[in-house]
Structure 1
Amino acid sequence: MRCLVDAQLPMRLVRWLREQGVDAVHSSELPGGNHSTDHSIARLADREDRIVVTKDADFVTSNVLEGTPRRLLVVRTGNVRNAELVALFQAHFAEIAAALERHSVVELHRTHLRVSD
């Protein structure tokens, strides 16, 4: 699995993903850093076959209207501490990975996942 984690999510999540064997990049590591546009993030994710991990609803709109980024993991937890966010990923990681193999858009809520194509 390859991911590009957007600016609203912590580098701590990227480090945890890497510990799980995921090829994860944070937007702060891109040439434009956290000032990278949504369009450039989506284009890079599609080119490198990465899943955009984000809280930004604009990516969902872009996925529906323009087909880019092709794959999304949308974090819909509201405001949570970084430790709580990582704990949610830990608790649901296998389910998230399986859903992303079959669906183009997966939403992580505090209590469940929602999938769509």
Structure 2
Amino acid sequence: MRFLIDANLPFRLAKALKARSYDILHTDELPNKERTSDKEIREISVNQDRIVITKDSDFLYSHIIQGIPTKLLLVTTGNIINKELISLFDKYFDNILQLFEIYDIIELNNDQIIGHEK
């Protein structure tokens, strides 16, 4: 699985996941960096078959209405420090990967991961 992390999540998260050998692209690595539009992110996710990781609920609405991005990891933790966020990903990421075999939308909050039907 390949992932694209939105600008509303820290580049440190991308580095932490890359260190675990996951195929991760952060918007800071794209030409427009943090100014990469939602439309561009959706296009990249489709063209490169990447799962979007974001806090932006606009991607949820886009997925429901247009089916794009095809898979989405929606982070609903609120504002937490980077260390706690990375710790949540360390704790749950293997389970998240398994859930993407069943669900197109996964929600990660402070306490759990939830798979959502379309």
Query: Over aligned residue pairs, what C-alpha RMSD do you find?
Result: 0.8
Q: Give the TM-score of the pair, scaled to structure 1.
A: 0.96
Residue identity opposite 1:37 in structure 2: S
> What's the secondary structure of 1:42's corresponding residue?
helix
Point out 4+ residue stretches in structure 1 off by more than 2 angstroms.
none
Written as runs of structure 1 = structure 2, the 5 A alignment for 1:35-114 is 35-114=35-114
Residue identity opposite 1:70 in structure 2: T
Q: Distance in 2 between matches of 1:107 and 1:78?
A: 12
> What's the secondary structure of 2:110's corresponding residue?
coil
Report the CA distance between 1:88 and its aligned residue.
0.4
The number of aligned residues is: 117
Report the CA distance between 1:24 and its aligned residue.
0.4
Residue identity opposite 1:109 in structure 2: N
Q: Distance in 2 between matches of 1:53 and 1:93?
A: 12
Q: Distance in 2 between matches of 1:108 and 1:66?
A: 22
Q: Distance in 1 between matches of 2:7 and 2:46?
A: 18
Q: Distance in 1 between matches of 2:51 and 2:12?
A: 17
Q: Distance in 1 between matches of 2:103 and 2:11?
A: 25
Task: Provide, for residues 64-105 of structure 1, a one-character-per-residue CA deviation record: whole Å limited to 9, x for no partner.
Answer: 011101010000000000000000011111111111122111
Task: Provide, for residues 41-63 of structure 1, a one-character-per-residue CA deviation record: whole Å limited to 9, x for no partner.
Answer: 01101110101000000000000
Percent of aligned pairs with the same amino acid: 38
Residue identity opposite 1:57 in structure 2: S
Gaps (5+ residues) in structure 1? Answer: none
